Each structure stands twice: as structure tokens, then as C-alpha cells.
A and B are shown apart, each in its own frame.
Chain A
Amino acid sequence: MADARIQVPQSVKRGENFEVKIAIRHGMETGYRVDDVGKQIPRNVIRELVCKYNGAEAMRVDMSSGFAANPLLQFWLVARDSGEITFEWVDDAGTRFAERASLTVSG
């Protein structure tokens, strides 16, 4: 099931900067909350998120309880070759996620 949305431009000129956005549906449970009967809710946040551009690591985020639920990340990359931008992330529960988007570079 879709747990993230990725936005990259449809096409971009070689050498230009382009913006990458990713929104992830994740509760980012801080570990500080208690449930209705006072039991601590275990922490479950995305621990690490890696973005690769054609297989090469382009960005890495170490995330923690300080992030809001359903985080939105925006950053810039330099266009080199057409190909894929992939995201992989893992949370405290050990669940691994992956999403990808394709990019066309002209010129």
C-alpha cells in the first residue's frame, strides 16, 4: 500500500538543479506517550532514510522522535543522467519501505 508520495520534475536539463519532495505516511510514535491504561507506547519512528540517484547515495537522513508524524522532506539535486531516484527507509519496528520515481534528463 502506498505509504509515500514522491515528486520530481517530469524532465530537467543536464546540469540544472531540481527539487525532490517525499511525503511519508508514518505515525512517528515518539515513545513518550502512554495509552489509555497508562502503558507506555513503544517508540516507532523512521530511523534512517536513504535516497539514491541511479544507485549512488544522494542523501541520507538520521531521523528521531523530534520529527512530526507523516514527515515531508524537500531537497535539491543536480541533474546528471536520466534514471531512477529511489528511497529506502526503515523504522524501529524493523519494517523496510521503498519507493521510486523516474527522471528524464535532456541535453
Chain B
Amino acid sequence: MSRWFARALRPAFAFASAFIIAIALAAPLHAQERVLPLNELKSGLEFNGADVRNLQGDDFANPGMLWVERGEKLWSTPAGAGGQSCASCHQDAKASMKGVSARYPAFDTQSRRLLNVEGRINACRTEKQKAEAFKPESEDLLALAAYVNHQSRGLPVNASIAGGAREHYDRGRVFYYTRRGQMNMSCATCHEQNFGKRLYAETISQGHPNAYPTYRLEWQTLGSLQRRLRACLFGVRAEQLPYGSQELLDLELFLAWRAQGLPVETPGVRR
């Protein structure tokens, strides 16, 4: 082999090694490493203006409280073949549901699946009450979820990724860091690398799930976290996953882990 040939190959080697380094950088981050340290987490509320913050802070003016109140009535309304209400088993939600939603999404060891609060409510309805499951984003499901989550208001988000939840967490994490859609953006592109900056009139938040179901002024109604996630997918022109899909659930768990320690704000108000 001539010296000329070796010299010609040098850039190729340089290119190859650069390529290998690039692959190493693109490989999934260490599975439990936090890009946003816990002491730098900011609720989405802090990225909103004073008017929105005041609306959420006033328990009468906060429109989400209309759903919380409706949920309180539904809690003790019998449903299904057994004529049982939520209160028949769980008694007073103010005591029995305190802190519960802060641990969700949670892995259900009996059915071996990950459940968010909405999923748990529907599991209770179909399995215990023998009633029909609520449709996604239906007023009654939102009202009950808001009522249950409201009982944890002020308590820190603390979802477990141990045991059966681990594989869901791992998949949620991969989803979060995967670029998708015609815009070729991942969740992290906005919510980890560019939060605090502006997208036209919007200030990009860190994308935490601690205030859901949330009243969005844009929606003029209460909506679930999955509705918000679907809106994000639409925003980057990616495939909108259906409500209740496993990908969205796994992502919800990753988001809850990522927001660990932030106080639950349900019902939140956002732009």
C-alpha cells in the first residue's frame, strides 16, 4: 500500500470516527439521567401571564372548578348494574383520594397494565360498577378526573417507575426524545432545549403534566393531558395518536417522572 493511498484514506477515517461519536451522542441518554434537574423545574403556570395565573388562583373564577364541582356530584351518583357510586367503595374522596393522583400513572399489578387516572376511573366503572366506560374527553370523565386530581392539589407529583412501570417509563422516555413529524422535532426540542423562548405569541413551557385536566383558554373548555399531547403532535405535524394509546400512556408516565416534586395544580388554567 502506497503512502498516497494511506493519505487518501485519512479523511475517510476522520469521517468514520466522527460518525461513531455522533452515534454515541445520539444513543439514548442514561436511562435515569435528568436533563432538567429537580431544582430547575418550573410549572407551566410560571410561563403564563399574571391574568392567567390569577384566574387559576381564584377558586371561584377558575372555570375548571365548574368541572370539579360536577365531579363531586358524580362521585356519589350511582351508576351501572350494581347501583353503586364511587362513594360506595371509596367513601369521602377528600380523604380517600388525597395524594392518589400524584402517584399516577401507576402500574396496576392485577391487570398488568399502566393506568392513568382516567383509565383507573373507567376500569372501576366497567369492572366494579358494571357500567359503560366513559368516552375519552367526555364531560363526565373530565369532571371525575378533575375532582379526583383536585384532592391532591398542592401535593408533589411522585409517580413510581419501579417494577412493572419500568418498561413503560423506558418507552415513554424514548418517545420523548425521538424526533417525529414533518417538522422533525422531538418533545425535548421545545420543552428542554428552548423553554422560556417564544413561538410567536406563546412562551414555551417545560411541558409538565401537573395541572391536568386543565382549562385551556384556547379550547374554551377543560381537557385532558392526552388532548394536550395530541395538540403537540399536531403542532409538529406528526401522526396524532388515538386517545388511550399505549404510546401516550407511556409518555404520560415519563412526564410524571420528569415533573417529580412539582405540586399538583388541578384544575389548572393555561392559555
Residues of A at the B interface (CB closer than 8 Å) are 1-5, 7, 21, 23-25, 27-28, 68-70, 72
Candidates A21, A27, A69; contact of B60 at CB < 8 Å: A21
Please name all residues of chain A whose beta carbon is closer than 8 Å to the beta carbon of B66 when the two chains form the complex: 2-5, 23-25, 70
A69 and B220 within 8 A (CB):
yes
Interface residues of B in 31-80 (CB under 8 A from A): 60-61, 63, 65-67, 69-70, 73-74
B220 and A68 within 8 A (CB):
yes
Please name all residues of chain A whose beta carbon is closer than 8 Å to the beta carbon of B69 when the two chains form the complex: 2, 5
A23 and B63 within 8 A (CB):
yes
Residues of B at the A interface (CB closer than 8 Å) are 60-61, 63, 65-67, 69-70, 73-74, 220-221
9 contacts between A and B (CB under 8 A): A2-B69, A2-B70, A23-B65, A25-B66, A25-B70, A27-B220, A28-B220, A69-B221, A70-B220
Please name all residues of chain B whose beta carbon is closer than 8 Å to the beta carbon of A68 when the two chains form the complex: 220
- Assess A5 versus B67: contact at CB under 8 Å? Given A27-B220, A27-B221: no
Please name all residues of chain B whose beta carbon is closer than 8 Å to the beta carbon of A69 when the two chains form the complex: 220-221
State the CA gap A3–B69 with chains docked (Å): 9
A75: shortest Cβ distance to chain B, in Å?
14
B156: shortest Cβ distance to chain A, in Å?
28
